[in-house]
Amino acid sequence: MMDFSDAESRMKKTLEVMHGAFAGIRTGRATPSLLEPVKVDAYEQKMPLNQLASISVAEARTLTVQVWDAAMVASVEKALRESELGLNPMTDGQMIRLTLPELSQERRVELSRLAAKYAEQARVSIRNVRRDALDKLKKQEKDGDISKDDAHQGSEQMQKMTDTYIQQINESLTRKEQDITNPQ
Domain ranges of the chain: 5-21+104-181, 29-99
**Mean pLDDT, residues 42-59:** 87
pLDDT band for 167, please (50, 70, 90 cuts).
Answer: very high
Would 5-21+104-181 and 29-99 be classified into the same CATH topology? no
56-70 tens-digit pLDDT = 888 877 889 998 988
Residue 1 has pLDDT above 90, yes or no: no
- In a 3-state reduction of DSSP, which class is residue 177? helix
C-alpha distances in angstroms, 73 versus 34, 37, 50, 98, 173? 19, 18, 13, 14, 34
Distance CA 167, CA 163 (A): 6
Amino acid found at 57: V
CATH of region 5-21+104-181, choose from 1.10.132.20, 1.10.286.10, 1.20.58.100, 2.60.40.420:
1.10.132.20
Predicted pLDDT of residue 2: 67
Looking at domain 29-99, does it have CATH number 3.80.10.10?
A: no
